[in-house]
Structure formats: structure tokens, C-alpha cells
A and B are shown apart, each in its own frame.
Chain A
């Protein structure tokens, strides 16, 4: 824990040296240190003691100092976490469905690099399940479910701290809204995660994204002008590599302009726990298991069987037939019997 006493007598230069992330705090709080870098923090912040400055900036010295100490404490904790403090598994313990009946499973553990699909009609309780996981429910949500992290009662830090979110989400409705190039966008995200080798990470994500995307894009393409498939590819590569959240929830991936199989392989390779809400048979069979939701509760857990997995290659062939016809149509060609190839 860093307290205000620890920082107030140091110069700003010393603080920046010690805490390389601190300039961002000054920047976001509109504190301009130009030419005052060698002043003691305490003296520098004296400007805020002046009534008029305080009014104009709407900040007071004590508040800024406390806030800074809290920020340093958080960032140090964030940087100090190493891999083995990571999430290796989550476990669901049953609650009840909308009629108050116990859910039909005993204990469900999902390990990293596993893909679990969630199926069930709209309104059946898929979002509630997800919300329970995100909130590490401890028998304190409407379903009375309990979620364990690494087999233990989950830490409440997952609930409300911005650097610790258990679940990252990807859905078809999501778009990029920032006015940035691919490079600037990845740089911004990497910086906010306090990554050391920013350049290396950008290249890695960029390469992976292009590997997933049907049509290639470049680092200076504005993110808002990427096609649907390219956006999806960049979102998935970025989330796989740069998001700190150990669990990724995917709400369908449309089969257009992106290699979905490679996308899932990337997420699994980055040791994510993948939850996928989908009714697409190809995606569903790529999962290790399927959770069936009915009437607000988990009704069944189905292992993807060997037989089902064998069907996958056949399904993929059918899918290719359709994709191929699409391409032919686009190029003004005629669809023929042999295109179906059965």
C-alpha cells in the first residue's frame, strides 16, 4: 500500500522514474508538469490550494494526492501479478431454475483452453448464466448459483475493479467506434494494459488478425473502415492476446470473412476459457461440451461425442459448398449440379 506520506516529499521526476505509469495519471487529470518536473509533489500541488485554481480545476490537493496513492497501489499490484496467479478453471455449482427446482448437474468445471457452448432458446437464461460467472456469484444472485475460481470461493475483486474483469465479450453487434488506425488502436490498448514490448505485441496481434481475416488489411487502415469479417478478426486477435480477462464469451461468429476454426484455435492457444453462445452446428461441434439452458436453469450438460465430432468434417464440407456457391454467384457465374458434389 502506497500512502500520501510515501509520495508527497518526492520530486515529480523521482516519482516518474519509480513509477513509469504515473505520467498517464497526470495527463488524465490535466496536471501539466512542464518545467516543474524537479519540484516536490507537495509543492507542485500547492497550486490547488489556491481558492481560485481549486475552483477552476475542480480538484483539491488532498483528493488528488489520495487518488494518486491509490492509483500507484493499484498499478503496482496489477504489474506484480504473475501467471500462476491466473485463472486455471472455473467451477459452477448448481442453483435453481425459474420454477425453483435444482439445476440438473452436480458440479461443472471448465478449464483453460476448453470450449464450452451454451445453447437454449432466447430468454431461457443464457445472459443470467453469464452474469453469474462475471459476478462470481456466491449464492447471492437470483439463481442461487455459486461460481468457484480455481476451485475456491472467488475473490470480490473480480466484481468491481476495472483491471480485473473475469469475462471479455465478443458479439456480432460490436463495432469499432474510435477514429484511429489499426496501429494506433492496438498501441492505445497495449499502453492501457501497461505492456512493455508494445511494438512486439502490435505485430503479433496484427499478424494473427490477418491470419484469421479472409481479406487482408494493413496497419494504417482506419479501424472504422474494416469490413465485418476484418473487424471480427481484429477483435478476436486483440482479445486473445491483449485482454487480461481469462474467460472469453462469444455470442455467435457469423460465417463471413473470417476463419472461425482458426479463431477458436487462437483463443484456445492463448489459454482462454471459451464460452460460446451459438446455434451454429459447426461452431457447436467445435466445443468440448454444451450446456443446455431451459427455464432459467442448466438442464443438461452434453459432452461432444466422437460420432458428433466425426460429423464435423462432413458439415464443414457442406459449408464449403455453400461458400463456394456464394463466390460463384458474386462473380456472375452459373450454379451447377457438380458444385454441390454429393
Chain B
């Protein structure tokens, strides 16, 4: 079985791109499955079901979805193998821009869209910087120049990645993407012992543990404060 991790900011077009790519896989007779990770709610599983693929969803609720992802990825992999899949795709929304679900040996795809603004590549951390393939969507509604500028910004923060434009509505580029994602020689059996590409933040404060009251006396653990001093001599 092949395994692919797809991540990216909310509503960037992950599901749209995955669905169009699944089309191409199915035409080649490959058995595809998807596991969708989200925080509170998702309808994506229904869309995948309609496309005729095996699907599971996991809601992390009170946990950071990426932490939840890592705690579950081995079980998910075993599920995919048991179901006899040729390719298993995981979709997760990058919500905190700091964590990323990428595992070293697993193909990592980041989906971002042209509408998110040219400073977005700078703001997204390892989810963009350590991806193998970066997919840029929604190119159909912005100008050529904006697409070029956006792609060059992406290239500056992740020069090693393959950068592709895919249209989530028409599927333009999705066939081509599918050829980069599946390799029949690859056989994932287990992820036990594998490592994340980048460590996740160790933040653990009282609010992580359910505290709702405001004030210093309720704050414990890893607490950090904004520097409110006026800086002198620096613009």
C-alpha cells in the first residue's frame, strides 16, 4: 500500500484536489481509501463516500488535530492494509500553522490557495516548508501575475518541493498529480519506528487542560507573555 499525507490551511481545496486525483486512480483500477482528520466537524467523509472510496474520519475535539493525527496514524495505516487498499490518503486541516503531520518516509503534500494572500507562505511553518509537493489551487480566479508571484514565494520558503497548480473545480492538473503520488514499488507495512519531519510544540498550559478562568493565578505550566514594553531604538 502507498500512503500519502495531504495537509493545508482550512478550505484551501484539499478535498477538491483529492477527489479529482481519486478519479484518475480509479480509472487505473486502483483501490483508494481516505482518512479525514479534523477538529470539531467535517462533511468531507460524505463527499469521499459518494466518490466510492473507503473512508474513515477522526475528530480530535479538544486536542490539536496534528497531535491527534500522529497518535492514530499507525492504526489508520493498519486499517488501510486490512481493507486491501492500493493507496491510502490522509487529509488533515492545518489549524495552528505550527504543527505538521508529515512523517519522514511518507509522501507529504501541502495544498494552499492563491486567494490566501502572498504573505501566507511566510506564515505557514513546517506544513509548507517540509512538504515534498506543494499544490496551489484556485488559479482560475486570479491573474497570471498573481499566480506567478505566489508560486515564487512558495518556492522561496521550500525550494526543494515540486510545485504544481491544480484546479479543484475542473481537475486540471489532477491527473498529473496522481502520477507523482502512486508508485507500485512502494509498500508501506507499518509506521512504527518512523519519525516526524518536525517536532510539534510542547506547549502545555492550564488552558490546554480545560481551564476557562482568566488571570495569572489560574495559569500554570508552559505560560508565555507578550512583551508589552515599548521598544526603544528599533523601528
Interface residue from B143, B199, B201, B234 paired with A175 (Cβ < 8 Å) = B143
Closest to A131 in B: B172
User: Cβ of B153: which chain A residues have Cβ within 8 Å of it?
Assistant: 28, 192
Give the one of A134, A168, A177 with max B CB within 10 A: A177
A18 at the interface (CB under 8 A from B): no
Tell me if B162 and A160 are in contact (CB < 8 A).
yes
Interface residue total, chain A, C-beta cutoff 8 A: 53
B221 CB to closest chain A CB, in angstroms?
15
Interface residue total, chain B, C-beta cutoff 8 A: 49
Closest to A249 in B: B144
B13 at the interface (CB under 8 A from A): no
User: Cβ of B160: which chain A residues have Cβ within 8 Å of it?
Assistant: 66-67, 70
A163-B147 Cα distance, complex, nearest whole Å: 11
Q: How many A-B residue pairs have CB under 8 A?
A: 127
Segment touching B, from A95-103, A236-244, A262-270: A236-244
Interface residue from B133, B159, B170 paired with A127 (Cβ < 8 Å) = B170
Tell me if B142 and A177 are in contact (CB < 8 A).
yes
A43 CB to closest chain B CB, in angstroms?
22
B145 CB to closest chain A CB, in angstroms?
5
Tell me if B157 and A173 are in contact (CB < 8 A).
no
Interface residue from A58, A66, A134, A188 paired with B126 (Cβ < 8 Å) = A58
User: Cβ of A27: which chain B residues have Cβ within 8 Å of it?
Assistant: 122
Segment touching A, from B49-57, B81-89, B173-181: B173-181
Interface residue from B141, B144, B163 paired with A238 (Cβ < 8 Å) = B144
A135 at the interface (CB under 8 A from B): yes
User: Cβ of B173: which chain A residues have Cβ within 8 Å of it?
Assistant: 131, 134
A11 at the interface (CB under 8 A from B): no
Tell me if A142 and B175 are in contact (CB < 8 A).
yes
A161-B176 Cα distance, complex, nearest whole Å: 14
User: Cβ of B122: which chain A residues have Cβ within 8 Å of it?
Assistant: 27-30
Interface residue from A58, A74, A231 paired with B125 (Cβ < 8 Å) = A58
Tell me if A24 and B144 are in contact (CB < 8 A).
no
A141 at the interface (CB under 8 A from B): yes
Tell me if B172 and A127 are in contact (CB < 8 A).
yes
B110 CB to closest chain A CB, in angstroms?
14
Tell me if B140 and A243 are in contact (CB < 8 A).
no
User: Cβ of A192: which chain B residues have Cβ within 8 Å of it?
Assistant: 148-149, 152-153
Q: Given that A28-B153, A28-B157, A141-B175 are contacting pairs, would A168 and B141 also be in contact in the complex, using a CB cutoff of 8 Å?
A: no
Tell me if A168 and B144 are in contact (CB < 8 A).
yes
Closest to A179 in B: B117
Tell me if B159 and A67 are in contact (CB < 8 A).
yes
A326-B3 Cα distance, complex, nearest whole Å: 59
Give the one of B145, B155, B180 with max A CB within 10 A: B145
Which chain B residues (163-200) contact chain A, with CB distance < 8 Å?
Answer: 163-165, 170, 172-173, 175-176, 179-180, 198-199
Tell me if A131 and B175 are in contact (CB < 8 A).
yes
A59-B129 Cα distance, complex, nearest whole Å: 9
User: Cβ of A161: which chain B residues have Cβ within 8 Å of it?
Assistant: 155, 162-163
User: Cβ of B21: which chain A residues have Cβ within 8 Å of it?
Assistant: none
User: Cβ of B199: which chain A residues have Cβ within 8 Å of it?
Assistant: 55
9 pairs across A/B with beta carbons < 8 Å? Answer: A63-B129, A74-B155, A131-B173, A131-B175, A141-B175, A160-B164, A162-B154, A174-B143, A175-B142
Report which A residues bind B (CB closer than 8 A): 24-25, 27-30, 34, 55, 58-60, 63, 66-67, 70-71, 74, 127, 130-131, 134-135, 140-142, 159-163, 165, 168-171, 173-178, 185, 188-189, 192-193, 231, 235, 238-239, 242-244
Report which B residues bind A (CB closer than 8 A): 27, 98, 114-115, 117-118, 121-122, 125-126, 129-130, 133, 139-146, 148-149, 151-160, 162-165, 170, 172-173, 175-176, 179-180, 198-199, 201-202, 234
Closest 9 pairs between A and B when the two form their complex, measured CB to CB:
A160-B162, A58-B125, A162-B151, A162-B155, A70-B159, A71-B159, A28-B156, A192-B152, A162-B163
